[in-house]
Amino acid sequence: MVRKQDFDQIAPLVWEIPTSYREDMRVPVRVFASEDILEHAMDDKSFSQAVNTACLPGLVSHVAVMPDVHQGYGFPIGGVAASHAEEGIISPGAIGYDINCGVRLLSTRLDYEEVKSRLPDLATSLYHRCPSGVGESGTVPLSNADLEQVCRDGSAWAAKNGYGRQEDVEFTEESGAIPGADPSVLSKRARDRGKPQLGTLGAGNHFIEVEVVDEIFHEEAADAMGLRKGSLTVLIHTGSRGFGHQICSEYVKSFQSAVDRYGIELPDRELVCAPITSPEGREYQSAMACAANFAFANRQVLAHHARSAFEEVLAGSVDDFDLYPVYDIAHNMGKMETHQVNGDEVPVCVHRKGATRAFGPGFEGLPEVYRSLGQPVLVPGSMGTASWVLMGTEGSMAQSFGSTCHGAGRTMSRTQAKKEVWGEDLRDELQQNGIQVRAGSMPGLAEEAPLAYKDVDAVVEVVSDAGIAAKVARLRPVAVIKG
Amino acid sequence: MNKGGFEEVDHTADWSIRVWGSDMEELLRQAAKGMLQLLNARPEEGQGNWLDIDIEAEDPEELMVSWLEELLFLHETKHITFLEFDFRSVGEKHLSAAAKSAPSKRPDKHIKAVTFHNMDIIEKDGNIETEIVFDV
């Protein structure tokens, strides 16, 4: 286990495990954390996993670890690693099974107080319109040809087929489709899992929340994002569902032999990888892009269903019940990007697992309204607690490969949470606090109890003070929809 | 008489079990039981069907992952659970089994994937054992 004395504090909120810690480390690990968060993260295997990650071949500069870090499998959640685009590797397990798990935020022109009495109906309508739960089928069954088109076009497929509009596509990372998707590499099993699942929320920590803008920290950015104090927003958190899980599982397995072929030695089989430029590496990128684009389309379809729920409940009683896109961003993804490393522009594949891209001002790929400000970053908190809207900074570009935190981060196992919390009690407590809850599974609700997570406000203070994101607005939930 | 079992191992975010058995067959059986317990995959009343499962792998760890993935895939896509297993042949790199299935009650737990993390099938105290981490 990594101990506190193994770290060098290189800045007030940055702690480094140098390569001298273990001889197979190729780059150091840099953790963004307060002393308190750092000490608590030593309770599990987060930093041992970060050290293992630092052994991957072809990494540049350092492995960055966000303050919402917790133990995962192979790669820690909250980890960021950039491998050289020509000499480095790509690792499916380091991106995760839920490829392009991410978050979409929609703003409204509705004041919370104006529609407060309709929230129970709104929560019920969202729950019924947005299929959730394990293995649940969606409302958009796809043919094989449709699925291939979703893989290529992502959000644009959904918008073109009546599940959204052009501005939704524009306000999505990579305009809702990362390049290079090639459905010809997909297995029958991946296709069979993907075809019925478009437009589903899933289970676990996935959710839809209706939230109120509680506090604004950056007026200009909040204005650009359509966020006004007291207005309602909708936050959608889900990913590529069984389609992505299947694709990742297949490549983690097939890469077990790739490491032997390329003479790569690893401390953990879950970190298996292949050179980015190898046939195996290229094929995984093509499959990963299919899953990523499926996830963008999935959140797009759910956003469309959320609009329908608002229309069903509020049409006739308010003038404008529309949901406007703020942004949609991934937090499990491998992206080909260029970053400054020791003064040079270096092409890299940035693996972000439980970490959010947070590009600073001036990035051409942002919608024009955000270009001079920085990319919106969406940070859901634990259920029933605050969520945050941040934006990328020059500091995130300089320190963390344009990345920042993705949530609160767990501190307690699911089993322990269920021992300490009864799902029905939690639902009642949230409802007493003015939060509508619609959940298919009470044990599932208990597993996601706020006490199982870090304080998201403390996590956000770290990334803000360390300069790897800037605060824009704080949101508080008024309705939670879960599988 | 095979003596095997499983127990949950604490994990911050995902699920993990330690599994042991006298041989590979028992290890595979206990791992399946452990995963189904985590899934809370309870059978509905009704007649079960026997399904054939044949798997080839490069080594025992991959065999374990592939076995559990197969059961997970069938559980999620066909909404079934499993009542018992009849292993016809088990080696370090292959298995041939029949699994008695039954319709599953609406599942309220989800496992995204079976991982290779920390998986290392070792001999200990006259048994073989391993840890298995599931992505949740």
C-beta atoms surrounding B54 within 10 Å: 11
Give the one of B13, B106, B119 whose C-beta lies nearest to A72's C-beta.
B13
In this prediction, residue A325 carries a pLDDT of 98
In this prediction, residue B2 carries a pLDDT of 55
In this prediction, residue B89 carries a pLDDT of 97
Q: Contacts for A367-376 with beta carbons within 8 Å, 24 or more apart? A: A367/A170, A367/A171, A369/A224, A370/A221, A370/A224, A370/A225, A370/A327, A373/A220, A373/A221, A373/A224, A374/A221, A374/A470, A375/A327, A375/A329, A376/A105, A376/A221, A376/A225, A376/A326, A376/A327, A376/A329, A376/A472
Give the one of B73, B107, B116 whose C-beta lies nearest to A252's C-beta.
B116
A70 contact B CB<8A: yes
In this prediction, residue B1 carries a pLDDT of 44
B83 contact A CB<8A: no
Tell me if residue A304 is catalytic: no
Q: Contacts of residue A97 in chain B, CB cutoff 8 Å?
A: 112-113, 135
For A268-283, what is each residue's pLDDT tens digit?
Answer: 999 999 999 999 999 9
Tell how strand A14-17 and strand A8-11 pair up.
antiparallel
B45 contact A CB<8A: no
- pLDDT > 70 in chain B, percent: 99
Tell how strand A29-32 and strand A63-73 pair up.
parallel
| Arithmetic mean of pLDDT, A69-81 | 96
Q: To the nearest whole number, what is the mean pLDDT of chain B?
A: 94
d(CA A298, CA A294) in angstroms, rounded, equals 6
CB-based contact A242 B69, cutoff 8 Å: no
**Structure token digits, residue A116:** 């407060």
* Helices (H), ranges, A360-413: 368-371, 394-399
Q: What residues form DSSP beta bridges with A235? A: A105, A209
d(CA A335, CA A74) in angstroms, rounded, equals 19
CB-based contact A204 B108, cutoff 8 Å: no
Q: To the nearest whole number, what is the mean pLDDT of chain A?
A: 96
Q: Contacts of residue A272 in chain B, CB cutoff 8 Å?
A: 116
Q: Helix (H, G, I), strand (E, B), or coil: what is residue A109?
A: strand
Burial B67-80 (b: 16+ CB within 10 A, else e): bbbbbbbbbbeebb
Per-residue pLDDT at A324 exceeds 50 = yes
In this prediction, residue A117 carries a pLDDT of 97
Per-residue pLDDT at B39 exceeds 50 = yes
**Structure token digits, residue A299:** 């959140």
Which residue's entry shows tokens 């684009």? Answer: A293
Report angle CA A436, A325, A470 to the nearest 5 degrees.
85
Q: What residues form DSSP beta bridges with A240? A: none
With a CB cutoff of 8 Å and minimum separation 6, the contacts of A343 are: none
For A342-386, what is each residue's pLDDT tens digit?
Answer: 999 999 999 999 999 999 999 999 999 999 999 999 999 988 899
**Structure token digits, residue A244:** 């992505």
d(CA A351, CA A336) in angstroms, rounded, equals 9
Which 10-49 residues of chain A touch chain B by CB within 8 A?
44, 46
d(CA A378, CA A390) in angstroms, rounded, equals 6
Per-residue pLDDT at B47 exceeds 80 = no
Do the beta carbons of residue A409 and residue A454 sit within 8 Å?
A: yes
In this prediction, residue A23 carries a pLDDT of 97
Nearest to B79 by CA among A96, A307, A135: A135
**ipTM at complex level:** 0.94
CA dist A375 → A41, A55, A156, A351, B111 (Å): 28, 31, 20, 18, 32
CB-based contact B113 A248, cutoff 8 Å: yes
B42 contact A CB<8A: no
For A187-214, what is each residue's pLDDT tens digit?
Answer: 999 999 999 999 999 988 899 999 999 9
In this prediction, residue A211 carries a pLDDT of 98
Per-residue pLDDT at A432 exceeds 90 = yes
